[in-house]
Structure formats: structure tokens, C-alpha cells
Structure 1
Amino acid sequence: MLDTSLRVPDIPTRLRAFLDQRTPVTPCLVIDLDAVRANYRAIRSALPEAAVFYAVKANPAPEVVRALVAEGSSFDVASTGEIDLCLEQGATPESLSYGNPIKKAADIAYAYRLGVRRFTFDSDGDLENLAEHAPGARVSCRFLVDAPQSGTPFGKKFGCAPDMAIRLLARAADLGLAADGACFHVGSQHTDPAAWVSGIAEAGRIARALAECGVPTRSLNLGGGFPTGYADPAPPLDVHAAAIRAAVATHFETAPELLIEPGRAVVATAGLIRTEVVLVSRKSDSDEHRWVYLDIGRYSGLAETENEYIAYRLRTAHPDAPDGPVIIAGPTCDGDDVLYQHTPYRLPTALRAGDHVDILDAGAYTASYSSVSFNGFPPLPTLFVG
């Protein structure tokens, strides 16, 4: 069972000081840029042999991208908008990898014109567009992996069968592209290091098959998915790195150039969302559960609570008070805007409208998921420390 006790977590010192001094209007996301830098350096330290391409979609704030440019990061981009953002913040075109295998021909041409030379694909159609609009570019083919333990699984939207990836990469070479190699993604928030092991084993098989066809490859893109501890702890990066390192040694005769695309692992713990209680109510006089409505919901930054995939740690203004079971919901006039009704959360019985509830480790996939103006609620603003 998840440990959703709200009396345990505390707010990081710098974020607490910022909130105490600024008392910002809620809801808002506060990002500690020093924590972003520290997380990036921890990833580099855990797996120094891998080039880090920050997944911009996790948190595309210009301030975050600019801080990572200064750290020497490369960037995994999913659209022309993210390409423009990175370049505007000082990234070089050579540091960008267009990792989205679903893209328009015009977007490929735009990226290539700006100097982007690294792309991911998983289909004949996208490959043909790359050959036409990005001649000579470095391309990786994304294949499907079975990773059921992912916190927020991708399903089968991205990637192709491994045998198809062999055919596509051989065809890429025939079309004049630089067939870099295979890539895969175990799914976001994956806590099992074995997921990377099985993916690396399949990538090694793909590389060997291509070599036999006279198509040497040089890279292996491991994607993202590196987890963050939320209500439940997650294995540390060192554990995942050790599993990756051992699998590469086992399944590749010559170690390939490694790429990783962390997003959550870079920004999640750097952020906190401060919210306010709008209403506390019960559905009947005998109902054990109270409904706690916050001024933020699934449409204003908490999209990852869909299916209750991500169980955030919470902190209230009454950390030591008696508590009881609750259902937590957002403020909109939408019946699906319920955050937690199956995950067993308990909140202080003293909680009242106007009290703050802080959502910890909320730096990833929150502001970037916030809707423009659903029900008239504005997008989630982001404030910065450091």
C-alpha cells in the first residue's frame, strides 16, 4: 500500500523560504533551479558514459532550459516549438535530437534548415520524409519494448517491432542516411531496472543483425523513464546505471555510443505546487470520507493523476493534527476532475477552505500539461528560485 501520510514529508528549505517570503497566489509551481542543476549532475555522475539529452517536454520553462544549456546538456525535442525554445535559450542545433517519430515533413525540413541533424523514426513514411528533407542526417529507429511496470505506460503508440527496426535501419542506410542504431523507451516513471536490460538485449540483437547486412551502427539511445520517488520510493539512479552498464557489456561486443533522455529525473524533485483548499465536504452525514477540493486539478497541471498513476506526496498546514480518509478533487465542472478516490490518502481533520496544501516533487509534467483555459481557469504559473 502507498504511504500517503502527510505528516512525514517536509518542504525543501529553499522552497519553504521562497513561499514564506513571497506568499504567491495559488495555484503555482515553484522550481528550484539549483535542484535542477544538482539532478542533472547526479545523472551525469551515475552514468558518465552516456550523453544526456534532457526531455524538454517534462518542463519546457525557458529558465530550466537555459540552466541546462549552461550545464552542457543536450536536448530531446518533440516539436518545432521546442526546437525554437532551445535555440533561443542558447542551445546549439548540434545538441538537439528530434525524438518524436510522429512529425510532418515540413517540420523535418524546418529542423534540418536550422541545423538539427539527429532524428528518431519508427515507420517507412517518416523514414521517407527524413531521406527527402534531412539528407545525410543521423537517424535512430525506435522499437517496441514490453515494459508493463511503467508508472505511465506508452502502450503501442511509439516504436515498431524489432525485426521491422532492422529492415528500416538497413533501408535508411540505402537512402543515404546515417543509420545510428536502435532506440527504445521503457515508459515514464519506470522503477524496475530490468526493463532497460531487456531493451538493451534486443538492441544488441538488432545491431548484430545489421552488422551482418553490412550496416554498422554506432549508438544506442536508451530513452528516458528514470524514476522519481513519490509516495513510494524509487530505486536510486546508481542501481539503474549499474544494470544498464552490465547489460551493454553483455549484449554488445563493442560498447556503442550511449544516449539517455531523462526528463522527470531532472526536474521532478526541483518543483513544488502550492495549492489552496476551495471546499471540504461530505456526500452524506454518515460518509467516512471527506471530499477535499483544491484550486488545481487534472486540467491545470495534475494530468498525471489520471488513473492515479502518480501519487504525489502532500504537505498541509496541519502536519501534526489528527487525520482521516479523503477523496481529493480539482475545482472544475468536470466529473473526471478527481485526483484520488482509490489511492488511500488521509488529510488532517482540521483542514478548512483557505488552507494551503503543498504538492511535492511536482516539477515534471505539471505546468507543461496545464490547459490554456478550461472552465476559465488560467494555466499554471511557474516561479523560480535560484
Structure 2
Amino acid sequence: MYATQADFVGRSSVAAPSRVEDYIRSTQFDRPTLVLDTDLVADRFHALRAGLGHAAIHYAVKANPERAIVERLIGLGCHFDAASRAEIELCLGLGAHPGSISFGNTVKRASDIAFAHHAGITLFAADAEEEIDKIAAHAPGAEIYIRVVVTASEADWPLSRKFGCAPGKVIPLMRRAREAGLRPVGLSFHVGSQTRHAAMWGATLDEVAGIWAAARAAGFDLDLLNIGGGFPAFYGEEVEPPASYAAEVMRLVAARFGEVPRVMAEPGRGLVAEAGAIAAEVMLVSKKSDTDTHRWVYLDIGKFSGLAETIDEAIRYQFATERDHEPMGPCILAGPSCDSADVLYERRPVLLPLGLTSGDRVIIRNAGAYTSTYASVGFNGFPPLDVVVI
């Protein structure tokens, strides 16, 4: 059953980065292209740092590993959360200090742990016995923090149980780490991607605070709390300004944990999403039958070429066209590939101009995060998402 008019998602009421959109409107592209403005990344970094206070910002490199972004953040004194050897090499190669990088993936190849250790990285995440054993063998004496599964999440995209351990495993894992010569220094968690309001962190922080207190009571002198990501971007629903959002999160942390010597935050989306937009093109507009209520609009970019976060319609991108002054109507939005899963929005159709036709240009707003990194190398022969930094 199709959604009602009230459910449609149309143009953003919040202006997207004007420099990015101006560049897209004045430039011809022969393939889908992500345009990024690192000045906007810097602006967001300063806003988050103002709100987070003494917490160290570890940019989640996986959100967008574009060299210009990483280089700009290094210059601003940012730290980094790396999920792989390649991300570590990227950061180090651009001048990041090893002490500013944490190896935050809880599933690591032993040789990559050894590489990170020899490169000078001392902080690792773990959530299982075998991972602790690998770290002890290949990064002796390292600091580790235990990632915990949290069940209380009000995020638009709650994370699964893939990463983290149950609360009851935290203390046994810390004991195992200490016995293996490692230094268990704290906990990490993730409140869920796109947690739009700071108040939504409360129940998760309550959950983690109980685990923290139990670990300290068991004799572990914890001094590191990694609050992960979850910092939101604008996708059509109201989000709080980044500085006030971050400040409220830190107030909630302090109310539950008191003075924690080291706090880490790992914004990815919240740092880079609004710094970029995608230049796309309409490939076809059609109806499946003469009585069909909705048009199908096919873009030259889809799930396999950068818009993977439209899975389950979790992330609701905003669109702008040169026909936005014309009458609008609902449509089902799809990508170009020969895969029936490549439908972006159908349960909640998108509001786009009724006059839209093949060849019309479309701007996909606030698409700086999890787009270029999710693009395939060329599924169906369609080119991967190109990137331009202005």
C-alpha cells in the first residue's frame, strides 16, 4: 500500500551548501559525481569541538576517506577511528600521529594488528576472547577498550548485534586482557546511526553507565569512555545544531559517569554528510500501466553506485532540480542497474516535479557520508561515483 501525501519526502526546507550546489549547477558531468567542500567539514569540526569540550574527536574514516578531508582534519588537530590497515596507512601517510589513531574495528586480521603496533598505534577495540588473544600476541602491552552491545536505541538506523559483547562478558574479557599483559582501559558503544536528538542518548548511556560501574567495582580502573558516533546530519527531519547537540550529549555523559579522564567521540556522518552533494541525472520517467498512480523515476546512480544507505529507506536523501518551481507529485525513485533490489524509495515515495524528464539534472543533498565509499567498482558496467573537492 502506498504512502499518503503526508508521508512524501520532497525538497529540503534547509538550504544545502551553496558553494557545492553552485558548482554543480555551473559544471557539466558525464557521470554521477560527489562534490565536497572541505571548508564545510572544518566548520562542522569546530562546532562539534566547541560542544564536546574535553572529548577527543576521532573522525570515523569509513564515512568518507577522501584524502583532502583527512588532510584537512589532520591540520585541525583531529584524531581518527580506523577500521582497517588501509585507513591507518591513509592517515599516517598524510601526517597523522600514531597516537591520534585508534584501531576501532573489533574484527581485525592478526597481521594488521601487528602492522598497527609496529606503526606506533597503542589503542585497540575488542569484543571477544579470540580478539583479545590476537591483540596480546601481536600488540603486547597495548591499551584496549571493550565494545558493548546496547539495546536501547532511538536512532533512525539502530546498529545490529554484529559488533559488541553482552554486558555479562565485559568483566571476564577485561580479566582475560589483563592476564594477557594488555591494559583494559575502558568501554565503547554506538548509540545508533542518525540519532537525531541528543535526548535520545539517555537510555543508552544509562545502560553503559551500569556496566562501567560494575567494571570499576570489580577492580578495573577505567579512564576511557568511547561514546562512538550517532551524530546526525539533515535528511529532511529536524536535527539540533551540532554544537548544542554535542554539548547536551556531554552533559548527559557527565551526569552518569562523572569526571572521565578520557572521552572519545567518533563522528563520521555528523562531520562530512552536509559538506557534499551528488550531481546526478534522470535516465527515465515512466509508468508501469496507464492506471498506475505513481511515476517511476530512474537516476544514473543507485544502491550499487553510492546510495547504499537507502536500504530499508533508512536514510532519506533530499533532492533539488531545476524544475522545483513547477507542480510537484509523488514518484518511486530507482537506480539504473539491472537488479530489482536497486529501488531507492517506494514505501514512502519522493515528491519531485511532474515535468521531470530524461536528461534533467538532480542534486542529491547532504550526501558527503557513506556514498563514495559504498560505490561498487562498476556493477553492471556503471561507473563508480566520481569525487571532486572544491
Residues 9, 314 of structure 1: 8 Å contact kept: no
| Distance 1:240-1:15 versus aligned 2 partners, 3 A rule | closer
2:138 equivalent among 133, 137, 160: 133
Q: CA deviation at 1:198?
A: 3.0
Root-mean-square deviation over aligned CA pairs:
1.7
**Measured at CA, do residues 163 and 194 of structure 1 come closer, stay the same or move farther in structure 2, by a change above 3 Å?**
farther
Counterparts in 2 of 1:275-286, with a 5 A limit?
Answer: 275-286=280-291
How has the CA–CA distance of structure 1 residues 275 and 47 changed in structure 2, closer, same or farther, with 3 Å as cutoff? same
| Further displaced range: 147-156 or 130-139 | 147-156
The reply on whether 1:29 has 2:52 as its aligned counterpart is no
Matching residue within 327, 330, 337 for 1:332: 337
Alignment of 1:83 onto 2:88: yes
2:173 aligned partner, one-letter code: L
Matches within 5 A, 1:188-337: 188-337=193-342
Alignment of 1:148-227 (within 5 A): 148-227=153-232
Asked if 1 retains the 8 angstrom alpha-carbon contact of 2:31 and 2:383, the reply is no
Q: Which amino acid aligns with 1:228?
A: A
Q: What is the distance in 1 between the residues matched to 2:99 and 2:90?
A: 14
The CA distance in 2 between the partners of 1:304 and 1:265, in whole Å, is: 15
Distance 2:252 2:11 in 1: 39
Query: Structure 1 CA distance, aligned partners of 2:156 and 2:102?
Result: 25
Cα distance, 1:7–1:316 mapped onto 2, change above 3 Å:
farther
Match of 1:110 in 2: 115
> 1:124 aligned to 126, 129, 135, which one?
129
Matches within 5 A, 1:60-79: 60-79=65-84
Helix, strand or coil at the partner of 2:107: coil
Which stretches in structure 2 are left out of the alignment for 5+ residues? 1-5
Q: Which residue of 1 aligns with 2:365?
A: 360
Where does residue 348 of structure 2 map in the other structure?
Answer: 343
Q: Structure 2 CA distance, aligned partners of 1:75 and 1:312? A: 26
Q: Larger deviation: 337-346 or 149-158? A: 149-158
**Which amino acid in the other structure matches residue 266 of structure 2?**
E
| DSSP-derived class of the 1:285 partner | coil
After TM superposition, the score normalised by the length of structure 2 is 0.94
Paired position in structure 1 for 2:58: 53
Partner of 1:41: 46
Question: For 1:248-294, what per-residue CA distance to the aligned partner results, in whole angstroms no more than 9, with x for missing partners?
Answer: 33333433411000000000000100100001111011112111000
Residues 3 and 147 of structure 1: CA distance in aligned 2, closer, same or farther (over 3 Å): farther
Query: How big is each residue's C-alpha offset from its partner over 1:193-237, in whole Å with a ceiling of 9 and x where there is no partner?
Result: 344333333333333333333321111000001111202122333
Superposition deviation, residue 8 in structure 1: 4.4
How many pairs align?
A: 385
Residue aligned with 1:151, SS: coil
Is the CA contact (8 Å cut-off) linking 1:29 and 1:382 kept in structure 2? yes
Residues 314 and 369 (structure 1 numbering): CA distance in 2 closer, same or farther, change over 3 Å?
same
| Partner Cα distance (1:15, 1:192) in 2 | 26
Give the structure 1 partner of residue 3 of structure 2: none
Distance 1:347 1:249 in 2: 45
Give the AA of the match of 2:195. H
| SS of corresponding position for 2:303 | coil
- TM (norm. structure 1) is 0.95
CA pair 2-90 structure 1, distance change in 2 beyond 3 A: farther
Paired residues of 2:79 and 2:101 also in contact (CA < 8 A) = yes
- Percent identity at matched positions? 44
Segment drifting more, 39-48 vs 253-262? 253-262
1:230/1:312 contact within 8 Å kept: yes
Per the TM alignment, residue 309 of structure 1 is displaced from its structure 2 partner at its CA by: 0.4
Partner Cα distance (1:150, 1:124) in 2: 29
Paired with 1:316 and 1:147, the residues of 2 have a C-alpha distance of 39
Question: Could you tell me how far apart the structure 1 residues matched to 2:352 and 2:213 are?
Answer: 55
Give distance in 1, aligned partners of 2:14 and 2:319.
7
Structure 1: runs of 5+ lacking an equivalent: none
Please report how far the alpha carbon of residue 169 of structure 1 lies from its aligned counterpart in structure 2 after TM superposition.
1.6
CA contact (8 A) 2:17 2:275 kept: no
- Is contact 1:7-1:320 (8 Å) kept? no
* Residue deviations 1:36-59 (CA, integer Å, cap 9, x gap): 111111110111121000000000
| Kept in 1: contact 2:152–2:203 (CA 8 A) | no
The match for 2:18 among 10, 13, 27 is 13
Please report how far the alpha carbon of residue 29 of structure 1 lies from its aligned counterpart in structure 2 after TM superposition.
0.3
SS in 1 for 2:263: strand
The answer for the alignment partner of 1:373 in structure 2 is 378
> Which range moves more in the overlay, 68-77 or 239-248?
239-248
SS in 1 for 2:373: helix
Q: Which residue type is aligned with residue 98 of structure 1?
A: F
